[in-house]
Structure 1
Amino acid sequence: MMSASAFTILPSSHARAHDTFPGVDTLASELASVIRGEVRFDAASRALYATDASNYRHIPIGLVIPRDEQDVMATVDLCRKHNAPILTRGAGTSLAGQACNAAVILDFSKYMNAIGEVDLASNTLRVQPGAILDRVREKAELHNLTFAPDPATHSRCTLGGMIGNNSCGVHALMGGKTVDNIVALDLLLYDGTRVTVGATTEAELATILAAGGRKAEIYAELKRIRDTYADHVLTKFPRIPRRVSGFNLDELLPGGDFNVARALVGSEGTCAIILSATLQLVRSPQFRTLVGVGFQDIFIAADFVPQLLTHPLIGLEGVDSLLLEALRRKQKSLSSLELLPSGEGFLLCEFGADTQTASDALADAFSQFVTTLATNVNPRIYTSSEAKRVWHIRESALGATAFVPGKGTGWEGWEDAAVDPVQLGSYLRAIYALMNEFGYQSPMYGHFGQGCVHMRHNFDLETAPGILKFRDFMDRATDIALAHGGSISGEHGDGQARGALLPKMFGPELMHAFRDFKRAWDPDNKLNPNKLIDAHQPHEDLRLGADYAPWKPATHFAFAEDNGSLASAALRCVGVGACRKTDAGTMCPSFMATGEELHSTRGRAHLLWELMQGEVLPNQWRNEQVKESLDLCLACKACKSECPVSVDMATYKAEFLAHHYEGRPRPLAHYAFGRIDVWARIASYFPTLVNTINATPGISHLAKSLLHIHPNRTLPKFARAFTRSKEALNPGHPSPKVDDLHLRPTAKSVFLWADTFNNYFHPSTMQAAHGVLQEAGFEVQLPTKHLCCGRPLYDFGLLETAKEYLLRVLDALAPQLAAGTPIVVLEPSCASVFRDELCNLLPNDPRAKKLREQTLLLSEFLIKHAPHYTPPQLNGNIIVHGHCHHRATMSMDDEMTLLRATGANVTLLDSGCCGMAGPFGFEKDKYEVSQTLGNRVLLPAVRNASTNTLIVSDGFSCSEQITQNTSARPLHLAELLTKKAMP
């Protein structure tokens, strides 16, 4: 055992590899001349790829995004010519630091992601390294097959990364780790050799050796390693389900099939570059049943795992109460948490079969068995819809525990050791005691059925004593895992987090064998150097470190949960990469359209963090590359809810733009779109005239040119303001207009906010809402003066003006705020200003909190304040597109409750962002992205809807995207509630 005093503090690796690598400009130039893909050696690209999902940071030399194998081979040839190291990378979600290095990075995820056809004779499938796991599984499921390993990052992790890390996941219990499901690998070596490897019979091995050449040289060395170290492998490799640490020398042992492909799985890109892989698919149970079991604590849950494994489970996961507490603190999955049985430790036990009856029978028998184990053991069988929600809790674990409000960041490091399931309870108690000794906390969750438990500890990685303490903990935790016959990595690989600890686990002889194995493939040590072999220390090259001192400029937003610092806010992103999914949800729309890391929430957060760090990105607020990255952010706010650590890129973007343009002129469009409320108010006095002028060809073309509006876009038509309509002004109306500055509201009053979009463009929505609120029995108040929440101002960072708008609103609504009058807002993006930005911009104004609490969407108001309101009964179909801000800050539950109460068949589209996003979709250089997003789900669904289908879309921008691309006329909820029949 070593104490902290045995280690020394090593400086964080903040060297600029690009600047220090000799001949970098020549290398970049030569690559650009031959690569069909993309070559990026600029500062922003290097900053983007400086970290993965680990604690580590290495500034790369440059980035290559190859289009095909020829690009990869050309890149390797030129890197070899210039003696440049290479790192291959997929989704960049590795947790041990193996996906960042001072090297030329090859990112396979954008282009090299092809998936072949399933070979039904052998149940195999060939894929390129950038293929995403979920796309692979979808293709396999067409034949009731699957690729068994499925880590929680399945929506974005790539097969190349899974092979590099030997990934596992929930259903490794059913079908094994990645290593158990690889048939062959097509490889490129640093010296330019191309070779295909797989299982090898003794006769085939003899043929290869006799043929001579580079392949024979490698195989001869592998045979020597096998013959020399077989006994050490047999005695030192732990015989447990989740030994991921080290190289897979056990795949070369005598009596086996000398499987060179499987020997390379888990080598973390240190030996060869994967050009393609042939996967073994297994039968996928088509019907599944999930059982949740609650225990007194997570240790007792672990004790019972061996007994539960006597049943034919295909998945056995554990979660503890600290994980649930983290989700509650973040206000995530709250309704789903109620599905868990009573207890403080939980096991999620999944069965599968060819029929639902058979699967349910297995679950029923299991539940009866569980109740005989001990008192206070509580099983619950879930429906398929409930199971999906419970699984989401488990899959959210990494991100949910990475940043917890009020507690701070949980860091990786000791996050995936594994032991035999029989030893699991003892191991967890020993680690828990060590955590108590060090003053650390961490949730415990993961693959209990295979003895692999994930943790994220509150390590102090910013002070010298804290870093030495972290290093000491890692050493002693290793001793505990090894004492229990375990592996220091059970899924995420060794990388830098655990590479330097491998000698403790394997001993000097096997470390020699590992070094020889690496040298056989990569004698020049140019593929992902200093990972696994000759690894840097776990406390070296930290993203933070004892010398971490970010720039902390004054900001407009308070960033109260982030210590008042944009740097701290950007540090929330720990690289989980949930923003890189492309198949569901809303986050991150621009990444869905471009596939560029630069346009992902993670990429933008990393750039902002690097900007605050001040080493790679120059010019602080004036940095043009950061601005370029933020330009394609649609400010949809989806990251605030869908990102497991609640990165709020819409707010960060507004803050950056406010400073970027500080003291200098802005583009005309900023004022035209940002102050649209002013122009709309003026136009509403003469709407016919203004609309005629706008539609005049010459004038329209000039206006679009000046404002950089795409020619295919049509300017929205202005209308006479509802607040000046006959209905609103009629003094005999049962809901008289209220002077918001002077008249006292009544107990049954509701204030209907006249937002710019509905008041000046779609007054029919205001009229409909006015009628619905009256019908519900409320006196409707309207503003007597022009007020605006300032939503478009945030898109351009006009934050000083935004504050002025908000203060004007708070002054005008003083009587309503004092009386607690509900304020109904029809436009979701405007409601989100009051529910979100308001208190962040004006944190010390008590009126701001009141307005936030009193602001309700129409659906929320009717559900909460008008329980006896009955919507009209409609037959037919309703398709609903939820506004991004509605989903992100308020949820669609109340809206869907009201719509389903109409009796219609209601479908909520998983359409993500519509792509319009206020002025975004009108801008010439963003039109293609806007259309790409609209055509993902929303526009096809609208075009394919039957004639008796109503389209409901509450957002003004969303409605514009629909009307400008289809013949449909979408309705706001308020308008639908006034209908008496379907079309």
Structure 2
Amino acid sequence: MTDSAGRPVPHAPEPPHHGTTADGKRAATDDGPVVEEVSAATAALLHELAEAGVEADASARRRSEYAYDASNYRVAPLAVAFPRTVDDVVAAVAACRASGTAVIARGGGTSMAGNAVGPGLVLDFSRHMDRLLHIDEAAGTVDVEPGVVLATLSREVERATDGRRTFAPDPSSKNRATVGGAIGNDACGNHSVRYGRTSDHVAEIDLVTSDGARLTATGTGLRATDPADAFSVARAEDLTTSLARLAQKHLSALRLELGRIPRQVSGYHLENLLPEKKFNVARAVVGSEGTWAVVVGARMKLVPKPASALLVCLGYEDVVDAARDIPTILEFSPAAVEGTDEAIVATMRHRRGPDSVLGLPEGRAWLFVDLDGDDPASVQAQAERLLARLEENGRLVQGRPAADPSERASLWRVREDGAGLSSRLASGGESWPGWEDSAVAPEQLADYLADLRDLLTEHELTGVMYGHFGAGCMHIRITYDLRSEEGRAVFRKFTRRAAELVVRHGGSLSGEHGDGRARSELLPLMYSPEVMAAFAESRRLWDPAGILNPGSMTDPDPLDANLALAGVPDREWRTSFDLRPAASAGTDPWVHATQGCIGVGRCRADSGGVMCPSYRATRDEKDSTRGRARVLQDMVRGARTVEEGWRSEEVREALDLCLACKACSTDCPAGVDMATYKSEFFDHYYRGRLRPLAHFSLGWLPRWLKLTSRLSPVVNAVLATPLGKVAAALGGLTTKRALPRFAGAREWRREVADAGVRAAGGSADQDSVVLFVDTFTRGFRPEVAGAAARVLTDAGETVGCSADACCGLTWISTGQLGTAKRLLSKAAEALDDGTDRPIVVVEPSCAAALRKDLPELVHTEQAKRVAARVRSFATHLADRVAAGWEPSPARPLPEQAVLQTHCHEYSVFGAAAQRTVLEAAGVREVVDASGCCGVAGNFGFEAQHHDVSMQVAENALAPALRATDHDAAVLTDGFSCARQVDQLDPRRPGLHLAQLLDRRRTTTTTNDRHTKGTEELS
């Protein structure tokens, strides 16, 4: 058999259905596990890819990572390939065509409709094919590879054009979603009211078809990418003729049924082939979800960037009232009209603190209206006129401009994190996609939402609503029970009824995310048989081999097949951490915790927040919070891609580069806490197994410090000789990092005594705070204890001191939870003095362990009481500043400071405290090295992790040090952060906030403090 261009085409296999892969093995289904051992066919495919030089991986761990996207679905691939060039893509597609293997193109893997999963070979373009190639400002275009991230594209364009131009589409996932993915599902974004969809911004798209042609789709047709490629020239001519004939054949139906509303994304965009659209093949390709061809490059259009913008926030009683004001708001030509409801705001505040949402007016639902223009005064006047008109309408509760940049950023983050925040609500419920993307004409939105709420009530469901109100497109996450057969039946019934409802309102099943596995089955409810036939015919013309992204668009899988929450065994997983507060009824707490990741992929962002430092260093999905979570999810499924539960080698490998920084517990919109999961897993995995040496040398560090503190002169002398490196190597530690000097047993006692504080502590009647001197401070930085005591005294506190306990941090981080629980129990007993005095902890990681891990590992009321009293040193000082205290160091502080906030401080206590205190003390410029330092407790000292540790430092800390003057102070409250600064820039010691504010401040630090040789051994 040959195709229309004369090239032999293998027999097109039946599209894989209901979990069956192209080689006949079982994929993920409701009934059981996934693909079994690598088949002979898969082995042959991998061999062919290797012969062609294409990087590919069929390991069990890798297949688990890519079995999911951000949808409800799980389909394990046969393998994952990471093309570096277009030639790699051509070779991979040829290998799949020869064996009848499905091909699934994938960008950031953030699809909510299941577009980025499939049963064959996944091509991940985000790993290597992620370059911005050329900007032509005169033509207003930018040439890119498909894996470039949208936010990166916009940032680089603005930088190259001095802010004159930008790339407009800005979906909420823009800091991890890619151009190829945006083309695949016709992504829109927050400013689509002004700028439309991705299809409005495409000039040309470079493609590889399933029969091996390299074509370029343009605004007026189709051509061979390489004019010297005879096959591609012939294929372009033949496909052009066939597509034109298809458009002519279905002329009337395409004109009547397609392109009716701004957000009609469902189905193929065949209306762009009509004569009045000038046969715009490029726009027709957008939204084809990888079923027509594989995108390997694109020329995208740029737009002018407005000189001035103002966000106006509007509060309403509910989302229907908000929607009724949309026609009025649109009269003012806004750039964006976004909305959210109270459930998302409450969850943001619950998870990240009351200050995480700033500038929100009164109400229970809110609209964010972006007004822009060339002149700030005219934009302000426009905002005032808008508010006056809305007051006249009578529905507005309160409205206000958000002129402050921090308020603006806070409000946009609420909207942009909507998908993750709504998945695990402050109320304790959880919600899922499936009907999260419907769209109607903006003037129909209020009536549609009112009817949709009635439909939800009828099915005893709740919908968390947010989205693009100005474009009539709603994101609605719904409280389906996808774990039970009964709940899945409700899911199917409701989704069909909702599809019928949106069609009655003249709308589209999808307004942004595409149809994928979630809605393709329902397309016949929206389109006539003639249009559905045109869709199927167009797909056959483009993909004669029938291998591209099966299960979506035409001949789809059922919408309730391959659901990720189906088929999870009902098993009890015993854990040390108390995960019950996060668990839903009837679900094992460990299972529920690991299923918290819904795939939104914020952990893959290269800017903003701290999560995920290892992914930012390696750019490998396995090192993202999401990648690790997906492997854990397969573990609890009992999936045969990841076997053996707590003994799973794949899970251990996935967790290996997790720095246990805890940043995901704050930065992840869904609240995934991978540090806790890693600790729990390692505790089980290593039972009865020999642990790594570092788990003894570093994991038992507090025990060793009891010995070294008595022999510190001898230990330090030995470590200063070549024997020091030998000792480090024997302990599993890196020899590339200098070990810290050990303090004598009495040093910290002398320090606090010198500050006028008794080391044994004070009575409740005498002291207003308890200063907890942790193991790290006692053992390595005793001078910080004295400085902290003096600063607290200066802040008006009467200070008692406690050091008779250990938080167990090193045992927690290495997964030795039995010992950790015993130590934490003793700590709770020692610190529970019958008062509510704040316990101020010098070391942030120890403070975090006492605040968060203590009540989760020790399940007593005493543990909860103590944890509630714990403050980090910086947080307590920030509270004193808020109460009116003004820091007054004896000597002027440097005008500039580099702030390295410890990850545990950031995740448990927040990132603002140190900056608040520094600014109150008179530091004019605070350079925030926002990100993990890379040491992260034991991680950066372990031999196998040193190089990654230094890569992590390049995310933020190292560039901040290079960019600032050498006389700038470097704030490192965390001991591990100070060690990394010593490694990166020995000339600038890392200082604790207490040292900087101490009235007896010196530049003495741990490294240059020489332990007296005559110190009494005790």
Give the match for residue 632 of structure 1. Answer: 657
2:236 to 215, 218, 234: 215
Counterpart of 1:92, as a letter, is G
Shift of 1:80: 1.6
Q: 1:842 aligns with which of 858, 861, 874?
A: 858
1:378-777 superposed matches below 5 A: 378-383=398-403, 384-545=405-566, 547-563=567-583, 565-615=589-639, 616-697=641-722, 699-721=723-745, 725-728=749-752, 734-738=756-760, 744-777=763-796
SS of 2:964's equivalent?
coil
User: Contact 1:550/1:614 (CA < 8 Å) preserved in 2?
Assistant: no
Q: Contact 1:132/1:156 (CA < 8 Å) preserved in 2?
A: yes
TM-score (norm 1): 0.94
Residue ranges of structure 1 left out of the alignment (5+ in a row) = 1-6
Question: SS at the partner of 2:275?
Answer: coil
Change (3 A) 1:868 1:585: closer
Q: Deviations over 1:725-777 (max 9, x none)?
A: 335468xx8533436xxx74325342221211111111110010121223334
The residue type equivalent to 1:110 in the other structure is R
2:188 to 147, 151, 168: 168
Q: Which residue of 1 aligns with 2:965?
A: 946
Counterpart residue number, 2:907: 888
Q: Deviations over 1:517-537 (max 9, x none)?
A: 000011221000121111111
Q: How many Å separate the matches in 2 of 1:947 and 1:727?
A: 28
Instruction: Name the CA shift for 1:226/1:779 in 2 (closer, same or farther; >3 Å).
Output: same
2:188 aligned partner, one-letter code: C
Worse-matched range after superposition: 13-22 or 826-835: 13-22
How many angstroms does 1:333 deviate by? 5.9
Aligned-partner SS, 2:369? strand
Distance 1:216 1:209 in 2: 11
User: How far apart are residue 861 of structure 1 and its match?
Assistant: 2.6
* Aligned position for 1:4: none
**1:254 and 2:272 matched:** no
1:77 Cα deviation (Å)?
Answer: 1.6
After TM superposition, the structure 1 = structure 2 runs for residues 87-106 of structure 1, keeping only pairs within 5 Å, are 87-106=104-123
Instruction: Find out whether 1:852 has 2:871 as its counterpart.
Output: no
Whether 1:12 and 2:34 are equivalent positions in the alignment is: no
SS in 2 for 1:617: coil
- Retained in 1: the 8 A contact 2:215–2:222? no
SS of the residue corresponding to residue 819 of structure 1 reads coil
Residue by residue, what CA displacement relative to the aligned partner does 1:638-690 show, whole Å, maximum 9, x if unpaired?
A: 00000001100000000010011102221222111011111122212222221
* Shift, 1:463, TM fit: 1.9
* Partner residue in 2 for 1:902: 921
Determine the structure 2 residue equivalent to 1:231: 252
Counting matched residue pairs gives 961
Distance 1:601 1:922 in 2: 22
Superposed CA RMSD: 2.4
Instruction: Give, as a single letter, the amino acid of the residue that structure 2 aligns with 1:851.
Output: V
Question: C-alpha separation between the residues in 1 aligned to 2:328 and 2:97?
Answer: 54
SS of the counterpart of 1:692? helix
Runs of 4+ in 1 over 6 A off after TM superposition: 201-204, 207-212, 980-983
Could you tell me whether the CA contact under 8 Å between 2:697 and 2:732 is conserved in 1? no
Aligned to 1:3: none
| 1:239 positional shift | 1.3
In structure 1, what is the equivalent of residue 96 of structure 2?
79
Find the counterpart in structure 2 of residue 299 from structure 1: 320
The aligned counterpart of 1:66 is 83
> Structure 2: which amino acid aligns with 1:951?
V
Flag the 1:375–1:597 CA change in 2: closer, same or farther, 3 A. Answer: closer
User: Cα distance 1:393–1:517, how it changes in 2: closer, same or farther (>3 A)?
Assistant: same
Which one of the candidate residues 792, 795, 809 is aligned to 1:791? 809
In the other structure, the counterpart of 1:917 is: 936
CA distance in 1, matches of 2:314, 2:152: 31
* 1:270 correspondence with 2:270: no
Q: Does 1:360 align with 2:360?
A: no
C-alpha separation between the residues in 2 aligned to 1:492 and 1:574?
15
Report the AA paired with residue 271 of structure 2.
D
The one-letter code sitting in structure 2 at the alignment partner of 1:738 is: A
Matches within 5 A, 1:176-215: 176-200=196-220, 213-215=234-236
| Structure-1 separation of matches of 2:223 and 2:836 | 85
Alpha-carbon shift at residue 26 of structure 1 (Å): 1.8
Whether 1:279 aligns to 2:300 is yes
Tell me, yes or no, if the aligned pair for 1:18 and 1:61 is still in contact at 8 Å: no
- Whole-Å Cα distance in 1 between the matches of residues 629 and 803 of structure 2? 42
Structure-1 separation of matches of 2:915 and 2:748: 32
Distance 1:32-1:408 versus aligned 2 partners, 3 A rule: farther
Deviation of 1:133 (Å): 0.3
Is the Cα–Cα contact under 8 Å of residues 900 and 972 in structure 2 kept in the other structure? yes
| Secondary structure of the corresponding residue to residue 463 of structure 2 | coil
Q: Partners in 2 of 1:18 and 1:35 — Cα distance?
A: 26
Alpha-carbon distance in 1 for matches of 2:564, 2:316: 38
Q: Is residue 2:971 matched to residue 1:937?
A: no
How many angstroms apart in 1 are the aligned matches of 2:395 and 2:486? 45
Equivalent residue number for residue 149 of structure 1:
169
**Structure 1, residues 882-925: CA drift from partner, whole Å, max 9, x if none?**
11011100013333222211122141514300001112112222
| Between 888-897 and 262-271, the greater mean CA deviation after superposition | 888-897
Contact 1:586 1:884 in 2 (8 A): yes
Question: Given the alignment of the two structures, is residue 30 of structure 1 paired with residue 45 of structure 2, yes or no?
Answer: no
CA contact (8 A) 2:516 2:553 kept: yes
Structure-1 separation of matches of 2:803 and 2:282:
74
Deviation at 1:228, TM superposition (A): 0.9
Unaligned segments of structure 2, at least 5 residues = 1-17, 19-27, 1004-1018
Cα distance in 2 for residues equivalent to 1:575 and 1:646: 12
Distance 1:21 1:663, change over 3 A: closer
Deviations 1:160-216 (A, max 9, x none): 000001000111111110011111111111111111111226999xx9999972222
Q: Find the aligned partners of 1:238 and 1:34 in 2 and give their Cα distance.
A: 42
Could you tell me how far apart the structure 2 residues matched to 1:326 and 1:899 are? 30
Residue 845 of structure 2 aligns with which residue?
Answer: 829
How far is 1:565 from its partner? 2.2
User: Which has the larger displacement, 870-879 or 577-586?
Assistant: 870-879
* Closer/same/farther in 2, CA of residues 172 and 847 from structure 1, 3 Å limit: same
Q: Structure 2: which amino acid aligns with 1:711?
A: T
Matched, 1:782 2:801: yes
Inter-partner Cα distance in structure 1 for 2:238 and 2:759: 89
Alpha-carbon distance change, 748 to 198 in structure 1, aligned in 2, over 3 angstroms: same
Tell me the distance in 2 between the aligned counterparts of 1:690 and 1:921.
21
Q: Quick check: 1:243 aligned with 2:261?
A: no
Name the CA distance, whole Å, in 1 between partners of 2:540 and 2:341. Answer: 43
Separation of aligned partners in 2, 1:80 and 1:398: 36
User: Residues 746 and 462 from structure 1, CA distance in 2 versus in 1: closer, same or farther, beyond 3 angstroms?
Assistant: same
Query: Does the C-alpha gap of structure 1 residues 22 and 259 become closer, same or farther in structure 2, counting only changes over 3 Å?
Result: farther
Aligned 8 A contact 1:209 1:216 in 2: no
Work out the CA distance in 2 between the residues paired with 1:979 and 1:146.
50
Amino acid of the structure 1 residue aligned with 2:555? D
User: How far apart, CA to CA, are the structure 1 residues paired with 2:867 and 2:233?
Assistant: 75
